[in-house]
Amino acid sequence: MKNTKQQSSTKTLADLYRAIDRQHAVSLTYLAPGDTEPTIRTVEIHEVRTTKNGGIVIVAMCRLRGEERQFVLAGVLSYTLHRIAYVLDRPAPTTYERPAPAPATDAEALFSYELARDQDDADYTPRTLIQTDAALAA
């Protein structure tokens, strides 16, 4: 068992990514926000995400519940890496269909809608902006 207080978050993340690569289960001793008692969960990690405010979230299948769960890295008190292979099937990602746009009543709402539409565009490729680009001079 590795205690997360005795090592850097970089070392913890490296171990968790190694478990993802090898598809090995991990037991987490986890203290959820607002709880007073930690729980122990054996999980099959599929993804590590970052939040908008810089937090790190572990997305994993929980063997106790058989469902996908999210664990905040700051709440992980300790962990154990196992050699046990994954046995749970991850649910297929759901598809999101954007509703038809409502008429925009203000410029900010219209701008937000157009920006979101551009980011969802499958053919969208980011372009490198250079200072001499004449198309941006408008």
Question: What is the third-level CATH fold of 2-85?
Answer: SH3 type barrels. (2.30.30)
Query: What number is the average pLDDT over the span 88-97?
Result: 75
pLDDT tens for 8-51 read 989 999 999 999 999 999 999 999 888 899 999 999 999 999 98
Which residue ranges make up each domain of the chain?
2-85
71: how many CB neighbours lie within 10 A of its CB? 19
Q: Where are the alpha helices (DSSP H) in the chain?
A: 9-22, 107-120
Tell me if 98 sits within 8 A of 115, measured CB to CB.
no
pLDDT of residue 138: 44
Structure-block tokens of residue 137? 């001079």
Report pTM: 0.64
What distance in Å separates the CA atoms of residue 119 and residue 75, rounded to the nearest whole number? 32
pLDDT of residue 25: 96
| Confidence band of 103 (pLDDT split at 50, 70, 90) | low
- Sequence-distant (6+) residues with CB within 8 A of 1 are 29, 78, 79, 80
